[in-house]
Amino acid sequence: MDLSQKPQKYIIPIVYPTSPACAKKARLAMCQPDKGSRKYRKATEALLRKSYAKYKMADKLEFMPTQIEQLLQLKYRYGERWPSSGILALVYLLEMYPNAIISTHGYDFASASLGHYWEKIKKKSTVHSMKREGGFLDQLMATGRVVRL
């Protein structure tokens, strides 16, 4: 692997809470971010652009469209209020590259640890359902489109 190559772009998910009605009623209108979520997203995008501008990387940012979170609920029937950015990234890749096989690394749902696999910090709780995310990853792997390294 040539580590001297730099990414052409950085795709950043900004997660918003999904209404429980979204997964139950499976209608696009129920899955739209509310006004507060849209305001939060806009502020987060501005902050990230400013932060990345310090490193001359702001022009390489691409924010994951909110439609990915809607697809997660409507097409993939995920049904959880707060998906992790990792789950959103998988759905984004599956949708953007329909003929690709996606390799994953670092999803450790069997562990009792709630921190990220690369961090030393351990959390006491999380807004994500690790059981649901693990089951969802298993579903994706069963299709053959997602594999674990």
Residue 48 lies in a domain: yes
Mean pLDDT of 46-62: 91
Radius of gyration of the chain (CA): 16
Residue 42 lies in a domain: yes
Residue 4 lies in a domain: no
Domain count, the chain: 1
| H or E stretch at 42 | helix 35-53
Q: Tell me, what's the pLDDT at 101?
A: 93
Measure CA 102 to chain center: 14
Q: What gap in Å lies between CA 134 and CA 120, rounded to an integer? A: 21
Q: Tell me, what's the pLDDT at 7?
A: 78
Contact 140, 94 (CB under 8 A): yes
Distance separating the N- and C-terminal Cα atoms of the chain:
16
| H or E stretch at 10 | strand 10-12
Residue 1 lies in a domain: no
Contact 82, 132 (CB under 8 A): no
Handedness of CA 62, 67, 73, 74 (dihedral sign): negative
Residue 5 lies in a domain: no
Token pair of 4 as six digits: 């001297």
Residue 2 lies in a domain: no
Which residue would you say has higher pLDDT here, 128 or 132?
132
Residue 35 has pLDDT above 80, yes or no: yes
Q: Tell me, what's the pLDDT at 49?
A: 93
Q: Tell me, what's the pLDDT at 120?
A: 67
**Domain enclosing residue 27, as ranges:** 10-148
Q: Tell me, what's the pLDDT at 27?
A: 65
Residue 3 lies in a domain: no
Residue 84 lies in a domain: yes
Residue 81 has pLDDT above 70, yes or no: no
Give percent of the chain with pLDDT exceeding 90.
Answer: 20
Q: What gap in Å lies between CA 96 and CA 83, rounded to an integer? A: 19
